[in-house]
Amino acid sequence: MTITAAADGSALGNPGPAGWAWYVDEDHWHAGGWPHGTNNQGELMAVLDLFRSTVHMADEPLRILCDSQYVINCITKWMPGWKRRGWKKADGKPVLNVDLLAQIDAELAGRDYTFEWVRGHAGHALNEAADAKARAVALAFQSGRAPGEGPGFGVPLVSAAAPGTAGAPGPAGQPDRPASEQASLFDEIAPEAAEAGQPRDLDAVVELEQSLLNPDVRTDYGQLAYLLHPDFQEIGASGRLWDREELIEELVQRGGQAPRFELLDAVPLADDLIHIVYRTVAETASELRSSLWQRTEGRWRVRFHQGTPEA
């Protein structure tokens, strides 16, 4: 049985209020977004969430329909070379959206998947549905309304949708889970599978932490808003306590050079919590840093950070 789904993103202003969505049929779709992001971030997040939402069906082939050549080329052509070069492009410049790409790369392991390009806004039923739901989320953020998230994909399908059509039969054997529970699909994995996935989560979170040192990320409001938890706090090297919005504004204005990253420890404290300790080395000083990453709504976001100058 092949699962056929369309994945799409939308950003009003690009960057601006942004949404993402994947769509199989009206019983199986999921959407989300953030107040400030880009179309590319939305497209990538839709693909990432689709892999995570079908992790309990990892034996089923996944056919992903995208109208973004950027997303397809990133995942199927360019990503292996970027990884070999430490997530750098051929010209040595950092890869954009590395936070999302690193997480997608972790999800690809062991999955049977294909990507297929479809022309956007050309009447393709699944693509049009995904686009409409992604845009609805972006509009909700623009107007300050709560976005519709959809039922997700919490239980197996009886059969998959035919290629290019909607209307596959719904799930059997279990009732739909409420949207508030769809963010915890990893909780459905058997304990041994969750344990086996810990190294993958650790690697992804370490790469996300490194991406926060990248000047291109640190000066991009959309990427910072994506990576920092809504309740984020930081105790800076000066002893100041920063909240999320204060720190994002400071980082966007300040920029700076990327220091050298030296990982000291990365430990899972719970299924949805990872603690990282590392050293950053700049030209004139080094700091010891500690971050607490929490998985919420199906993605890892940094909840707390502290940096202290090294003696």
Residues noted as catalytic = 8-9, 43, 67, 121, 131
Residue whose C-alpha is closest to residue 152's, from 194, 184, 193, 189: 184
Q: Is 279 helix (H, G, I), strand (E, B) or coil?
A: strand
| 3-class DSSP assignment, residue 193 | helix
Q: Which two tokens stand for residue 147?
A: 């976005």
- Residues paired with residue 246 on neighbouring β-strands, in sequence order: none
CB-CB neighbours of 30 under 10 Å:
27
Residue with tokens 């939305």: 42
Alpha-carbon distance 291 to 286, whole Å?
16
Give 279's contacts (C-beta < 8 A, 6+ positions apart). Answer: 261, 262, 264, 286, 287, 288, 289, 310
| Residue 29: closest CA among 44, 7, 56 | 7
Look at residue 114 and give its three-state secondary structure. Answer: strand
Q: How far apart are CA 255 and CA 264, in angstroms?
A: 25
Position of tokens 């010209």? 91
Q: How far apart are CA 311 and CA 309, in angstroms?
A: 6
Handedness of CA 192, 198, 199, 204 (dihedral sign): positive
Q: Compute CA distances 208 → 177, 249, 278, whole Å.
A: 30, 20, 13
**What span, in angstroms and rounded, lies between the C-alpha atoms of 62 and 60?**
6
Nearest CA to 303 among 225, 240, 228?
Answer: 228
